[in-house]
Amino acid sequence: MEILSTGEKIRRARVKRGMTLKALCGSEISVSKMSTIENDKVQAEEWILDLVAKRLGIEKESLKKDIIQEVTDQLEKLSENMFTKTYEKDVKGLIKVTEHNKLSHQTFLARIQLVDYYIEKGKIEELNVEISNLYRTYINIVNAETQYLYCLTMAKYLYATSEFENALVFLNYLMSNFYTLPDSIDQEARLQIPFMTVSCLVYMEDYDEAKKYLPYVKELLEITSNDATKGQIHLLYCLISTSEDLRESYDKIDEYLKDYPEMHAKAKYFLAVKLLEKGDADRAYKEMAEAARIISPEKMSDNIEMIMDAMNKFVGTGHYEEASKYVDMVVNAAIENQNPNCVERAYYFKGILLAESGNYNMAETYLSVSLDMLIKKGRTRELAKRYRDLANVYYKMDKKEEAIRYFSMSIQTEAHV
């Protein structure tokens, strides 16, 4: 992506038209003056821009934009199109431009957008790298505004990596300064702090604490024009509330997130898990089916962690038949995502569900592969459970020696945890 200064725009337009400096200047401007303008040593006065724009046949407003304004406009434009195929490449291009021109503040803003993109896409490996780059940029431009942006971005990052307690460290700091943040941070931006706080607390299932921040979240709902934010707020209402009559919020989630399929599907997965916890299996099944319908197959691997969480809840609570409808989708998405942890868990779920259906030979295969992948992580309680699961399969296959061996390994592993 190429962004030009005012002087460079003039020079390129002039050369493209085969016009000399003298011809462009005429009798009104000295050649030396125009040379310094083209080389960005001085800024052109308004009357010069009027004259140059007319002679070059281009818009004056396009000439007036300097590099900072061009970058700012491009960042704003990109922020509205995060789901385009070239988004990542375009933001990285802007970062190169800003670094080349030593525009640290603009580099910082561009890196935040790239972090937000990686969070949305679940690209954890890239996210870990970029969050380090963001810090290196931040430490050179620390002020009240950049501190707010950095802390909020760190909270989003930690939220995305399921480190909710650590995310709350940054959010609590921002909340303690909520009413003293600089005026450049408008009310909607401020209210992102309690909004993120509630999101973390909901994930931690600390609903009573989350309710304390709901007045802030209600205010955000009233002032924001962002449908995605509105939909997510109604989702929080559904997850926090103990009321049985939440039809309006359910409808609002569908209304506001209909143009954001990935967010919409995530909301449906969260609702499915919540309904399952409340014992409303029929509605949970319906929301799970809707989530699978909404999200496109090519987006499935980008959202594998979310799908794994839902699968874990369905399998963990004994809803095997319903989970079996989606397990192949989960396995394929995990393989496509190329995340070893996700592949291991997907194979495990597949093995458990095969065992529940009585297909013990295939269950042994999937559970063995999953176990081999997990062993590389070391001795953990999770590993002990996997030994027991495989022992149970061998017992049902009437392979008693293998069953005893794996039960023993489970006990030994537990003893070393």
- pLDDT, tens digit, 9 for 90 and up, residues 71-127: 777 777 777 776 677 888 888 988 888 887 788 998 999 999 999 988 887 788 899
Looking up tokens 């607390």 gives 201
How far is the C-alpha of 40 from the C-alpha of 54, rounded, in Å? 20
Q: Does residue 315 belong to any structural domain of this protein? A: yes
Alpha carbon separation from 223 to 107, 139, 181, 190, 230 (Å, rounded): 29, 33, 19, 12, 10
* pLDDT one-digit tens code per residue, 265-291: 989 999 998 888 888 899 999 999 999
The reported pLDDT for the residue numbered 8 is 78
Residue that is last in its domain, among 35, 65, 95 = 65
Q: Which long-range contacts (CB under 8 A, 24 or more apart) does 320-326 make?
A: 320/352, 320/353, 320/356, 320/357, 322/281, 322/285, 322/288, 323/349, 323/353, 324/353, 324/356, 324/357, 326/288, 326/292
Q: Which of 55-64, 133-142, 163-172 has the lowest mean pLDDT?
A: 55-64
Q: First CA to last CA across the chain, in angstroms? A: 53
Determine the average pLDDT of the residues in 6-30.
Answer: 85
The rounded radius of gyration (Å) of the Cα atoms in the chain is 28
The reported pLDDT for the residue numbered 67 is 66
Using the predicted structure, report yes or no on whether residue 379 has a pLDDT greater than 60: no
Side chain identity at 236, as an amino acid letter?
A: L
Using the predicted structure, report yes or no on whether residue 69 has a pLDDT greater than 80: no
Residue that is last in its domain, among 65, 83, 105 = 65
Q: Does residue 70 belong to any structural domain of this protein? A: no
Q: Looking at residue 44, what DSSP letter applies?
A: P
pTM listed for this prediction: 0.71
Task: Name every residue whose Cβ is closer than 8 Å to that of residue 56 and which is 6 or more positions away in sequence.
Answer: 10, 13, 14, 17, 19, 24
Residue that is last in its domain, among 39, 65, 91 = 65
* pLDDT one-digit tens code per residue, 324-335: 999 998 899 888
Identify the CATH number of the domain in which residue 36 sits.
1.10.260.40
How far is the C-alpha of 220 from the C-alpha of 195, rounded, in Å? 8
The reported pLDDT for the residue numbered 196 is 95
The reported pLDDT for the residue numbered 258 is 92
* pLDDT one-digit tens code per residue, 59-68: 777 766 666 7
> Domains in the chain: how many in total?
2
Using the predicted structure, report yes or no on whether residue 322 has a pLDDT greater than 80: yes
Q: Does residue 410 belong to any structural domain of this protein? A: yes
Using the predicted structure, report yes or no on whether residue 321 has a pLDDT greater than 80: yes
The reported pLDDT for the residue numbered 416 is 67
Task: Name every residue whose Cβ is closer than 8 Å to that of residue 11 and which is 6 or more positions away in sequence.
Answer: 38
Identify the CATH number of the domain in which residue 326 sits.
1.25.40.10
* pLDDT one-digit tens code per residue, 343-372: 999 999 999 999 999 999 999 999 999 999
Q: Does residue 60 belong to any structural domain of this protein? A: yes
* pLDDT one-digit tens code per residue, 164-207: 999 999 999 999 999 998 888 999 999 999 999 999 999 898 99
Q: Does residue 134 belong to any structural domain of this protein? A: no
The reported pLDDT for the residue numbered 189 is 92
Q: Does residue 365 belong to any structural domain of this protein? A: yes
Q: Does residue 292 belong to any structural domain of this protein? A: no
pLDDT-derived band at 383 (thresholds 50, 70, 90) equals: confident
pLDDT exceeding 90 applies to what percent of the chain? 48
Nearest to 70 by CA among 158, 4, 163: 4
The reported pLDDT for the residue numbered 155 is 95
Alpha carbon separation from 334 to 344, 376, 383 (Å, rounded): 9, 18, 20
Q: Does residue 121 belong to any structural domain of this protein? A: no
Side chain identity at 120, as an amino acid letter?
A: E
How far is the C-alpha of 304 from the C-alpha of 310, rounded, in Å? 10
Q: By residue range, what is the domain housing residue 27? A: 6-65
The reported pLDDT for the residue numbered 295 is 83
**Contact indicator for 106, 122 with CB cutoff of 8 Å:** no
The reported pLDDT for the residue numbered 220 is 97
**Contact indicator for 216, 179 with CB cutoff of 8 Å:** no
pLDDT exceeding 70 applies to what percent of the chain? 95
Side chain identity at 373, as an amino acid letter?
A: M
Using the predicted structure, report yes or no on whether residue 218 has a pLDDT greater than 90: yes
**Contact indicator for 370, 386 with CB cutoff of 8 Å:** yes
Alpha carbon separation from 238 to 66, 80, 106, 270, 406 (Å, rounded): 47, 27, 38, 10, 43
The reported pLDDT for the residue numbered 364 is 95
